[in-house]
Structure 1
Amino acid sequence: MQSIIGGAYNGKRKFVKQLLEGQRVHFFEGEIPDRPFTKEEYVVIGGFEKMIPMFGDLTEDEIVNQLMDKLRKLDEETNLICICTEIGRGIVPLSKDDRHLRDTCGRLYQQLFKRSEKVIRVWYGIPEILKENRE
């Protein structure tokens, strides 16, 4: 698994499209697909901030666990890339729902980055490798 993080409209998807040019790639926004893929394919998932509100009143940990279970399964069968939009930058939202969204995204991203072999931050179109496991 690889994870790409950056602010909204900072070039994350453009970077991934350039990186995977010529490969078999499936993009998903705001959903985790349920169908099978092969190790020759790439699955790119973005819009985690759109998925979290769909879980209703579940706790942060319950949401993160459910999402990570689906992502682990998908990661085992294909080349998974997660695109993560940074939504906090240290600012505490006023509303309870916005704080829940920010906090849950933060906890999810911690788990994604821990599992990822590579984590890249894209800031205004410039990629920076934050983590790279070389085996």
Structure 2
Amino acid sequence: MHFIIGGAFNGKRAWIKNTYSRYENKHWVSAYDGHSLPINLIDFDQSVVILEGVEIWLKELTVTFDAEKCREIWANCIEEWNTWENAAEQRKLVVIGTDISKGIVPMEVENRQWRDVTGWAYQDIASKAEKVDVIWYGLNQTIK
């Protein structure tokens, strides 16, 4: 699993398109396009699956569930995604999240919970990912 994180509009999508351009068989799933959080990737027959907009899916979870349940659902997603990726040697999962942890702490309880859950979720995925890149201004820095 390859986790990509960076600020909004900092070139994550363009960097990924360039980095993974050699792969013909890709499937892009984006929360920004209204796609639901894919827990099970078994229906995707592509060698590369790219999940974009993790922070949006996490916000949707925080609207319905408390922080602990959100973390449980997220841990289940990561486990399912790892299982899918490891089931075939040519499979690669790329997960993209926008960093929402910087700046002023939100006053509203629901926005603080979203920020907290997203921070924990990013820590969890970073610990499980084999590679982590931060993208700022279109440039990557590999941190794992």
Normalising by structure 2, we get a TM-score of 0.81
The reply on whether 1:123 has 2:136 as its aligned counterpart is yes
Find 1:32's aligned residue among 10, 13, 37.
37
Q: Which has the higher strand share?
A: 1
Any idea what the Cα deviations from partners look like across 1:7-63, whole Å, max 9, x if unmatched?
A: 00101111111111131111111233345145x611111212211233334222211
Contact 2:49 2:93 in 1 (8 A): yes
Any idea what the Cα deviations from partners look like across 1:74-133, whole Å, max 9, x if unmatched?
A: 2222311110100121421111111111111000000000001111000000100011xx
Q: For structure 1, which segment, 46-55 or 99-108, has the greater mean C-alpha deviation from structure 2 after superposition?
A: 46-55
Q: Which runs of 5+ in 1 are unaligned?
A: none
Q: Which runs of 5+ in 2 are unaligned?
A: 86-91
Percent of aligned pairs sharing the same letter: 29
Q: CA RMSD in A?
A: 1.7
Normalising by structure 1, we get a TM-score of 0.86
Task: Write the distance in 1 (CA, Å) between the matches of 2:102 and 2:69.
Answer: 24
Number of aligned residues? 130
Contact 1:60 1:107 in 2 (8 A): no
Contact 1:44 1:82 in 2 (8 A): yes
